[in-house]
Chains A and B, each alone.
Chain A
């Protein structure tokens, strides 16, 4: 089902009324790009046709996942056993056996560091490479790739998979979108449920419009004049200006189908796990298969874990070990390996760069309440496909996981490497005036 509103709608053949409206209404953010950017020339053939940026929002403990320290004192190492991976010398904790079994398909960096210790600032830094302040906020890596690539067909060039802009409590990450490149390069926000329902939560602009009566643009315009508008005039006018693109996306089967997880077998959907993150991971695969250049796959919309009203993120100030054991790692260890398998089986892994990371690490020393707090000086990332040499372990942290040994790798270097692999070379980045001062992580290539 492709659920973009208050009820489910089968997309193969018909489009439900509210589904039509919400999809159409939400599209201008992404679709406006087509008219804004025109056809841009890719200066160098990109190694990565698409990028999936898996954002473990809230910041996972590196020591309890991909950088275990079994020989550290008990107050550092935590309770989890360390297991071998397929990469010589690389161990994960026992919480990630499936990822460990696929380590020959990715490379890991264990020497990341960031200057920002809080989630909003750290999140913006992780997604843009720059601090949130001083203004203006720099563009999300996805917005940079989106501007460079334009779009394929009627699909948006930058999709962020979450039921809204990622948040820390009531505050959004300012680096979520276009920044200095303008809102035209903001992502299209797409939500996904554990039951494979896809929704575009952005806008419910109009009620009473029946897409089944729509045959062409003229009849749609006539319909629009007869339905109640639940949008301010200015907002409606903005929507209406870009309605052609929305109409195209909505009524083009191949565009709609990219968002329709019911086209996948139950076996395939089950492989990813019936969690929000699992099904979103499958959706990410479908989107890159359809040609979307950049997908930001958010583990959760919120950083918090167990806060009333917020989704379960990786910010485990409380119950770190229980949450990793019961909730977060089982979900991640099912979805991420399934994504690698699926991309490989569809022949897409070589041309899809998959980057997995949070905004910082967590304290190697167990906190007073037996959990782990924020730790910006040292964390990890995992890189697969899209021009990355697999099976490498780049850098290492010290014996307790507190500091990188050698030069740390910054978020700006992450963004620069993503951009380089996506086809933005030094000159292209300079012309766009983005990622200034960034260097490629050569060890990955």
Chain B
């Protein structure tokens, strides 16, 4: 039932977006044009939370209602930069980065009522965590953190205790994201050269490289059905969105724009993505249809 509801809702969005949505034609979801980053779909596909440059000194989290296409600050009273939002599979629990001092940023975890569930604090000095992801069972948060000249991936309970190292290699490891069943994590890593997409078990075992291109492949996200992975690649000369099978096979380009397409996240139907597109120097969220070709491959 809930799957039908979710699918029906997404369909409504698409139909409402455009009377006859062409599969390859991205639909604008915002129109303010401000610099945007990091999208995360929530509320069963009814909302998208993203980060925008609210003014030259502040990253702010915004919540977009996909039905009426209006955005409002997620935390209207926030006075310091907040970024890297991510929702858990329940669509209610979310984590984000918050600057808490001079070159200090912590992961803060909330429920959708604004209650703080936990915080993962940085170390002393210039220190910041990055790219949180919440396990589907909401038992743990994984994140990226620079330590010892490397950027590694860690896991911890929502209050920051019981930290475990999941990826500890030379280079930069970043953007961890869970599979829907919580058994796998995809992430980006420069361990072998430039950024490529990797996959490992949720306990950090069996890392496996999924991409191999001479330009950066970054920001992977599992589709809600677990079959595909969306990511950003520069392999064709500028940032575009690609989708590949969950084992790394059949990479397929989803967007084709002379400017930057980045920061994809899936809608619950696993057939549409919300992305940030740069267009004529502006930045807005767009809804993108993932071609079925890649799904059948």
Residues of chain A at the chain B interface (Cβ within 8 Å): 74-75, 78-81, 94, 97, 163, 194, 266-267, 269-276, 278, 300-302, 304, 306-312, 317-319, 321-322, 325-327, 330, 334, 365-371
Asked if A369 and B35 sit within 8 Å, CB to CB, the answer is no
Bound CA span A312–B194, Å: 25
Question: Is B171 engaged at the interface, CB distance under 8 Å to the other chain?
Answer: yes
Asked if B237 and A80 sit within 8 Å, CB to CB, the answer is no
Which chain B residue shows the least CB distance to A101?
B237
Chain A residues with Cβ below 8 Å from B195 are 79-80
Asked if B216 and A367 sit within 8 Å, CB to CB, the answer is no
Counting residue pairs across A and B whose Cβ atoms lie within 8 Å, the total is 129
Chain A residues with Cβ below 8 Å from B149 are 75, 365-368, 370
Question: Is B73 engaged at the interface, CB distance under 8 Å to the other chain?
Answer: no
Identify which of residues 105-127 in chain B touch chain A, using a CB-to-CB cut-off of 8 Å. Answer: 105, 123, 125-127
Q: Within the complex, what minimum Cβ distance (angstroms) separates B100 from chain A?
A: 9
Name the one of A270, A301, A318 contacting B281, with C-beta atoms under 8 angstroms: A270
Name the one of B53, B147, B283 contacting A369, with C-beta atoms under 8 angstroms: B147
Asked if A272 and B147 sit within 8 Å, CB to CB, the answer is no
Q: A370-B149, A370-B150 are in contact. Are A81 and B215 (CB under 8 A)?
A: yes
Q: Within the complex, what minimum Cβ distance (angstroms) separates B50 from chain A?
A: 13
Knowing that A80-B216, A163-B56, A366-B150 touch, tell me 9 more A-B residue pairs with CB under 8 angstroms: A79-B172, A81-B194, A94-B234, A269-B281, A274-B281, A278-B281, A309-B57, A327-B35, A370-B150
Asked if B35 and A194 sit within 8 Å, CB to CB, the answer is yes
Question: Is B292 engaged at the interface, CB distance under 8 Å to the other chain?
Answer: no
Name the one of A301, A302, A306, A370 contacting B146, with C-beta atoms under 8 angstroms: A370
Asked if A368 and B148 sit within 8 Å, CB to CB, the answer is yes
Chain B residues with Cβ below 8 Å from A317 are 103, 126
Bound CA span A97–B239, Å: 11
Chain B residues with Cβ below 8 Å from A367 are 146, 149
Q: A81-B215, A300-B56, A369-B146 are in contact. Are A274 and B282 (CB under 8 A)?
A: yes
Asked if B216 and A307 sit within 8 Å, CB to CB, the answer is no
Question: Is B260 engaged at the interface, CB distance under 8 Å to the other chain?
Answer: yes
Bound CA span A55–B260, Å: 25
Identify which of residues 164-180 in chain B touch chain A, using a CB-to-CB cut-off of 8 Å. Answer: 170-172, 174
Q: Within the complex, what minimum Cβ distance (angstroms) separates A75 from chain B?
A: 6
Asked if B128 and A319 sit within 8 Å, CB to CB, the answer is yes
Chain A residues with Cβ below 8 Å from B278 are 273, 330
Could you say which of A80, A269, A270, A306 has the most chain B C-beta atoms within 10 Å of its C-beta? A306
Interface size on B, residues (CB 8 A): 50
Bound CA span A116–B99, Å: 29
Main secondary structure of the interface of A (DSSP, over half): loop
Which chain B residue shows the least CB distance to A73?
B170
Identify which of residues 73-118 in chain B touch chain A, using a CB-to-CB cut-off of 8 Å. Answer: 79-81, 99, 101-103, 105
Q: A97-B238, A269-B281 are in contact. Are A308 and B81 (CB under 8 A)?
A: yes
Chain A residues with Cβ below 8 Å from B57 are 302, 308-312
Residues of chain B at the chain A interface (Cβ within 8 Å): 33-35, 37, 53, 56-57, 59, 79-81, 99, 101-103, 105, 123, 125-128, 130, 146-151, 170-172, 174, 190-191, 193-195, 214-216, 218, 234, 237-238, 260, 278, 280-283
Asked if B81 and A318 sit within 8 Å, CB to CB, the answer is no
Asked if A371 and B56 sit within 8 Å, CB to CB, the answer is no
Bound CA span A310–B101, Å: 12
Chain B residues with Cβ below 8 Å from A310 are 57
Asked if A370 and B281 sit within 8 Å, CB to CB, the answer is no
Which chain A residue shows the least CB distance to B169?
A74
Asked if B280 and A267 sit within 8 Å, CB to CB, the answer is yes
Q: Within the complex, what minimum Cβ distance (angstroms) separates A268 from chain B?
A: 10
Q: Within the complex, what minimum Cβ distance (angstroms) separates A158 from chain B?
A: 23
Q: Within the complex, what minimum Cβ distance (angstroms) separates A267 from chain B?
A: 7
Which chain B residue shows the least CB distance to A315?
B103
Bound CA span A365–B105, Å: 23
Q: Within the complex, what minimum Cβ distance (angstroms) separates A34 from chain B?
A: 32
Name the one of B99, B146, B190 contacting A74, with C-beta atoms under 8 angstroms: B190
Q: Within the complex, what minimum Cβ distance (angstroms) separates A302 from chain B?
A: 8
Chain A residues with Cβ below 8 Å from B123 are 369
Asked if B56 and A321 sit within 8 Å, CB to CB, the answer is no
Chain A residues with Cβ below 8 Å from B53 are 194, 327
Asked if A306 and B81 sit within 8 Å, CB to CB, the answer is yes
Chain B residues with Cβ below 8 Å from A371 are 126, 146
Asked if B170 and A75 sit within 8 Å, CB to CB, the answer is yes
Bound CA span A278–B280, Å: 12
Could you say which of B59, B150, B218 has the most chain A C-beta atoms within 10 Å of its C-beta? B150
Name the one of A97, A270, A302, A312 contacting B280, with C-beta atoms under 8 angstroms: A270
Asked if B282 and A270 sit within 8 Å, CB to CB, the answer is yes
Bound CA span A308–B105, Å: 11
Chain B residues with Cβ below 8 Å from A302 are 57
- Sample of 27 A–B contacts (CB below 8 Å): A79-B172, A79-B216, A80-B195, A80-B216, A163-B56, A270-B281, A273-B278, A274-B283, A275-B35, A278-B281, A306-B59, A306-B81, A307-B103, A308-B80, A308-B101, A308-B102, A311-B56, A312-B56, A318-B146, A319-B128, A321-B151, A321-B172, A325-B218, A369-B146, A369-B147, A370-B150, A370-B172
Bound CA span A273–B260, Å: 12
Chain A residues with Cβ below 8 Å from B237 are 97
Q: A81-B216, A270-B280 are in contact. Are A319 and B130 (CB under 8 A)?
A: yes
